[in-house]
């Protein structure tokens, strides 16, 4: 069974600091996703990573994928308060559209 584990589950950061969220998954997967969810809101797609070594950046967020290690990272650079949210990673495969989510990382950025 495909399992997705994120860590940390809770992260409190100071503004201006850098940090990395980790996402491990248990079996071969073709696609990895990062989503953002604000309280009471739906999920917003941030990144879709399709191949080993893929790196995507948007603003202060950068996501990477290592399929051999079955690991993705979401790096936050110079955090700002607006980044406070819950971040989920999810994986699926071309043979199975059952997208499995991690438990999420609740990020709080403090001034």
Partner 1 sequence: GAGVSQSPRYKVAKRGQDVALRCDPISGHVSLFWYQQALGQGPEFLTYFQNEAQLDKSGLPSDRFFAERPEGSVSTLKIQRTQQEDSAVYLCASSFGLYNTEAFFGQGTRLTVV
The binding site for partner 1 (CB under 8 A) comprises: 4, 31, 33, 35, 41-45, 48, 50, 88, 90, 94, 96-104
CB of 16 to partner 1, least distance (A): 28
Q: 104 — alpha (psi -120 to 50), left (phi > 0) or beta? A: left
Provide φ and ψ at 77, rounded to 5°: -110, 130
Q: Which is nearer to partner 1, 14 or 45 (CB)?
A: 45
Q: Which is nearer to partner 1, 17 or 41 (CB)?
A: 41
Q: Which is nearer to partner 1, 77 or 104 (CB)?
A: 104
Q: Locate 57 and state its tokens.
A: 């950046």
CB of 49 to partner 1, least distance (A): 10
Q: How far apart are the first and last CA of the chain?
A: 41
CB of 38 to partner 1, least distance (A): 11
The answer to whether the CB of 30 falls within 8 A of the CB of 100 is no
């Amino acid at each position: 069974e495909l399992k997705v584990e994120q860590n940390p589950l809770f992260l409190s950061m100071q503004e201006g600091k850098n940090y990395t969220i980790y996402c491990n998954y248990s079996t071969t997967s073709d696609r990895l996703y990062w989503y953002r969810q604000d309280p009471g809101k739906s999920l917003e797609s941030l990144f879709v990573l399709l191949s080993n070594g893929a790196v995507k950046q948007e603003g202060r967020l950068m996501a990477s994928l290592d399929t051999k290690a079955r690991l993705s990272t979401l790096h936050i650079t110079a955090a700002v308060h607006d980044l406070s949210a819950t971040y989920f990673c999810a994986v699926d495969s071309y043979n199975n559209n059952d997208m499995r989510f991690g438990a999420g990382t609740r990020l709080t950025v403090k001034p």
